């Protein structure tokens, strides 16, 4: 098998082998039609074996999720063959098999696409019972979850009508729950309560799964409409217990996260944290494409706990993980919500500067070539500065962004990777007449030796780009205000010995930005430029742990082959 893989005849994923797509494309037309049809039938029979028996609230067990994930491409292949061969019942059964996994894994488009094909298959064989299920759950639930409320209401009501024709109490219960949610979204509390009571009455006749499902909606009703967290918690525990009786590990873990969030809102932080341990372990094992937004949801909740209990560094890591997953699976509203929570962790003063730069530069289209720019090979100006360097992780992400920026705004000055830096304090701006006399150098060094080691190391989070009239910058964010405390201490100490007059001559720095590009000509279409840069406003640019400050003599652009490092100082405080 390994030899066939090396020859590019097979591919391997998670220790499973498959014929390479190009090999398959070449060989399939050459196969005997009878042999090909027999092979397809065996493939369908195997997957239908996984599908039996399946009902609403079929418990999704971990091994089943893994099996479907590993075979998803082959199942889609089998579905396509069934549709082309007019094997209508098999189309319905296979869609029923994979629909919950497609939701768990965030394959929203595929669930709707195959749901609609299954509806057509059900119409072909006049399977009214299947139509009720497919409209109400396969299609209606996805539209409801994605906020497509008009489609959701149309599909769910159609499913309910079919279910009433066939007397399908399970689908009726499910549809009524969804209509209760739609009424809740429309702020129709009376309608939400009426539909929920009807669903509850039917669920009393059905399995534990339906009782647990209705309990979810009672919890949401008491939380979002009544504002009664104690009742919401009681019903959430009931739903969790119901799914555990069914051995449904995914749904019970999701309810544990809901329960943790309710504990968080009641400031029972340790209880909330304890509830999240097992769900996160489970969701990490299943992987992002095996638990839809459950993994993101759990990290999101834990990040909120860390933020409220004074652990911003841990909160950032959790929220960033949630943000990455939400973006991956296309949950844009959740992604934007978490991005806002991340920004709230950072020191406000720098955030305000970044936002002001972006909004004022964009609203006035104030782009101009940098008046201080001189080609580095001809630049004889020198100054003296305290700087810190971004981590290798951040440098690599800066480089990726710079490559994309070069395509958007070519022919600008882009910093080399070795030149990326964050200015702690400009001691003297670069100029032609600069000279650092030995007595002055000794005075500077004395202040730095007394001051810098007393400060603790700190973390910079590079996230998002902003624009000034003549630069593009990576936004550097920080939780503790250590970098500005260092600046203020140095301003005070240097001012006391007569070295304060050359500090901050251009602007008083309160941010931790890293300049990536300088305009040497104005972009041809500023409005288009800003529209494209908008997509970089929340881009993750990595973490940097700062424990060393460099004192350098530098040219204007901080070019690496023209910098002279005078000394480095460790941050050793606690």
Diameter of the chain by CA atoms?
95
**Interatomic CA distance for residues 151 and 144, integer angstroms:** 8
11 plus 38 within the same structural domain: no
Q: Is the pLDDT of residue 381 over 60?
A: yes
d(CA 75, CA 284): 24
Are residues 369 and 312 located together in one domain of the fold? no
Mean pLDDT of 111-131: 94
Each residue's pLDDT tens digit, 180-206: 999 999 999 999 999 999 999 999 999
Identify whether residues 340 and 366 lie together within a single domain: no
Q: What is the C-alpha separation between 38 and 413, in angstroms, rounded? A: 63
Same domain, yes or no: 116 and 187: no
Quick one: 467 and 353 in the same domain?
yes
Q: What is the pLDDT of residues 477-496, one digit of tens each?
A: 999 899 999 999 999 999 99
- DSSP codes, 86-114: T-HHHHHHHHHHHHHHHHHTT-HHHHHHH
Q: Categorize the per-residue pLDDT at 565 as very low, low, confident or very high, splitting at 50, 70 and 90.
A: very high
Q: What is the reported pLDDT for 207?
A: 85
The answer to whether the beta carbons of residues 470 and 518 sit under 8 Å apart is yes
Query: Does 119 share its domain with 132?
Result: no
Per the model's pLDDT, the better-predicted residue between 30 and 79 turns out to be 79
How large a percentage of the chain has pLDDT more than 90? 60
- Please give the tally of structural domains in the chain: 5
Residues 503 and 531 in one domain: yes
Which distant-in-sequence residues (6+ apart) come within 8 Å of 398 by Cβ? Answer: 390, 417, 420, 462, 474, 514, 516, 541
Tokens of 265: 């809102």
pLDDT at 17 over 70: no
Both tokens of 358, joined, read 């972006």
How many Å apart are CA 278 and CA 62, to the nearest integer?
A: 13
Give me the mean pLDDT over the 513-519 stretch. Answer: 96
Q: Residue 6 pLDDT more than 70?
A: yes
Give the model's pLDDT for residue 97.
82
Higher pLDDT, 544 or 433: 544
Band of residue 209 on the pLDDT scale cut at 50, 70, 90? confident
Chain segment 323-362, per-residue pLDDT in tens: 988 888 778 888 889 999 998 999 989 999 999 999 999 8
Task: Look at 375-384, 490-499, 508-517 and tell me which has the smallest mean pLDDT.
Answer: 375-384
Residue-number span of the structural domain to which 256 is assigned: 238-345
The candidate with the shortest Cα–Cα distance to 444, out of 423, 425, 421, is 425
| 164 lies in some domain | yes
Q: Which pLDDT value is given to residue 20?
A: 74
Q: Same domain, yes or no, for 310 and 334?
A: yes
For the entire predicted model, the pTM comes to: 0.72
C-beta separation of 242 from 215 below 8 A:
yes
């Amino acid at each position: 098998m390994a030899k066939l893989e090396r020859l590019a005849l097979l591919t391997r994923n998670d220790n499973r082998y498959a014929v390479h797509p190009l090999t398959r494309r070449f060989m399939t037309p050459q196969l005997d039609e009878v042999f090909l049809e027999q092979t397809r039938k065996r493939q369908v029979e195997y997957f239908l074996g996984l599908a039996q028996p399946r009902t609403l609230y079929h418990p999704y067990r971990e091994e089943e999720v893994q099996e479907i994930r590993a075979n998803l491409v082959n199942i889609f292949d089998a579905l396509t063959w069934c549709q082309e061969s007019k094997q209508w019942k098999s189309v319905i059964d296979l869609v029923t098999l994979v629909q919950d996994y497609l939701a768990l894994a965030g394959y929203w488009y595929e669930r709707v696409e195959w749901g609609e094909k299954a509806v057509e298959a059900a119409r072909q064989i006049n399977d009214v019972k299947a139509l009720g299920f497919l409209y109400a759950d396969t299609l209606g639930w996805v539209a409801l979850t994605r906020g497509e409320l008009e489609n959701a209401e149309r599909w769910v009501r159609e499913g309910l009508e079919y279910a009433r024709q066939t007397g399908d109490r399970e689908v009726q219960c499910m549809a009524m729950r969804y209509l209760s949610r739609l009424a809740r979204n429309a702020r129709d509390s009376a309608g939400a309560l009426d539909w929920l009571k009807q669903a509850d009455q039917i669920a009393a006749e059905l399995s534990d799964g339906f009782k647990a499902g209705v309990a979810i909606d009672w919890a949401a009703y008491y939380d979002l409409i009544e504002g009664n967290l104690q009742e919401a918690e009681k019903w959430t525990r009931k739903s969790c217990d119901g799914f555990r009786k069914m051995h449904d590990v995914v749904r019970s873990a999701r309810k544990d996260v809901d329960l943790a969030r309710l504990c968080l809102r009641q400031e029972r932080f340790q209880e909330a944290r304890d509830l999240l341990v097992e769900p996160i372990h489970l969701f990490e094992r299943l992987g992002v494409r095996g638990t839809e937004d459950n993994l993101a949801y759990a990290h999101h909740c834990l990040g909120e706990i860390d933020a409220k209990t004074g652990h911003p560094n841990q909160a950032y890591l959790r929220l960033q993980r949630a943000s990455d997953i939400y973006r991956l699976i296309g949950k844009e509203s959740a992604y934007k919500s978490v991005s806002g929570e991340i920004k709230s962790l950072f020191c406000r003063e720098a955030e305000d500067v970044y936002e002001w730069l972006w909004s004022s530069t964009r609203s006035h289209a104030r782009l101009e070539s940098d008046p201080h720019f001189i080609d580095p090979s001809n630049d004889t100006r020198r100054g003296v500065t305290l700087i810190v360097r971004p981590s290798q992780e951040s440098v690599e992400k800066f480089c990726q962004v710079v490559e994309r920026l070069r395509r958007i705004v070519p022919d600008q000055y882009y910093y080399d990777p070795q030149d990326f830096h964050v200015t702690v304090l400009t001691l003297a701006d670069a100029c032609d007449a600069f000279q650092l006399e030995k007595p002055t150098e000794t005075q500077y060094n004395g202040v730095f030796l007394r001051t810098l080691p007393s400060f603790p190391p700190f973390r910079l989070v590079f996230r998002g780009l902003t624009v000034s009239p003549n630069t593009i910058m990576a936004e550097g964010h920080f939780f503790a205000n250590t970098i500005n405390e260092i600046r203020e201490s140095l301003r005070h100490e240097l001012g006391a010995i007569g070295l304060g007059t050359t500090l901050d001559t251009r602007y008083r720095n309160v941010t931790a930005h890293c300049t990536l590009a300088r305009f040497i000509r104005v972009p041809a279409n500023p409005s288009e430029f800003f529209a494209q840069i908008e997509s970089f406003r929340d881009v993750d640019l990595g973490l940097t742990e700062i424990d060393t400050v460099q004192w350098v003599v530098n040219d204007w652009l901080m070019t690496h082959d023209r910098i002279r490092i005078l000394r480095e100082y460790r941050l050793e405080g606690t």
